[in-house]
Amino acid sequence: MVANPSDTPKETIHHKYAWTLDTSAHTPHPLQTSSTDGPIPLLKGRKTSHWACNQLRIDADQIGGEIVEHHRAEMNLRNKALIVLLCMIGTDVILRGYVLRRFTEYTLPQDASPCTKLLSESERRRMHCCESVELFLSADYELPEDAFNWWKRLQLERRNFSAYTETVGRLFEMIPPCPGLSEPRPNRCRTCALVGNSVNLKGSHYGPEIDSHDIVIRINHGRTKGYEADVGTRTTHHIMYPESAVDLDNSTHLVLVPFKIQDLEWLMKAFTTGFYGKSYVPVKSHIAANEELVMVVNPAFMRCVHDSWLSKKGQYPSTGFMALILALRVCDEVHVFGYGADDDGNWSHYWEKLEDKKFKTGIHPGTHEYSIIQKLAEQQKLKFYKGC
């Protein structure tokens, strides 16, 4: 028996255009604001299905818009939180750096340093009985007359103390009134490469090691062109006297070691009109250098080095030994290259071909100076690179 369709309850009719929506089992979305009051009645026919679809689209659009707004608000909140976090991190980094800097400045012990100093402050005081003597001349410094009388005998200076004083006064009208190199401070590490001119630098390949230091000091005729692999390329300070003068670039300090009043006059004239005086060897009439970076070693300091470090051996210290003691005063770590004779005991320069095997160190106590360097190296007061 076939059932009569009219006997089927309307609520169970299934038509391709009719939907039955059971809202009793429907749980609204938390963000949904529109709702129906009770069950949605049975919808029949094409028109009613279109109405239902449109209604669903409207509800979906409302729900989708609210979800988008919710996510947008959530992203804005996260972005604000991220900005606040970054600001807090940045402030923390700045404060930590400031506090550490101030802590280091006020609490670092006297002998402390960012690096391991080879010569502590207390050792520096013990070793430098010349500590009270200024390293360099300045416009305000007054050389003691007894120091002048010692100095004038080095190269038979005939003029008197008044002539010296007048010459120095004119000199400091041209060059800076104060030297531009400060002495060590506890909270800073300054390393120096002191580069001598010994033949034992040939084939050493010390160039990169030399160039790695804060200060690179060269002496007299020392040169780099053609010898870069062994002696490096950088120079921050070049120590010389008129008879050993060389041209410098505009960033290198000219450090003059004067032995007579004429040496001070040479410095002034070599920068201006030209020097045409006579000496025991020919002297450069002009020099290429930066006169704003000129420094003049104090004759009283030279005397102190001769008396205290060399025990008055030899007539006076060599330029190389003066450079060593200057480096010990102004540097935290001193690395010494190119000092001493070769393996056969010959004293010569790395850019020269040895011709005179009997050549020694003249009026300077070269052997004694070298022994002092060796002793300081054994005591780990400096690092000594002996070369080849």
Catalytic residue ranges: 316, 364
Q: Give the C-alpha separation, 381 to 366, whole Å.
A: 20
∠ CA 245-199-279, rounded to 5°: 25
Q: Give the C-alpha separation, 126 to 122, whole Å.
A: 6
Question: Dihedral, CA atoms, 174, 298, 145, 143, nearest 10 degrees?
Answer: 50
DSSP-based three-state secondary structure for 102: helix
Contact of 192 with 217, CB cutoff 8 Å: yes
Q: Give the C-alpha separation, 224 to 234, whole Å.
A: 8
Task: Give the sheet arrangement for strand 191-195, strand by strand.
Answer: 294-296, 253-256, 237-240, 215-219, 191-195, 333-337, 383-385
Contact of 296 with 138, CB cutoff 8 Å: no
Q: Give the C-alpha separation, 198 to 182, whole Å.
A: 28
Contact of 287 with 270, CB cutoff 8 Å: yes
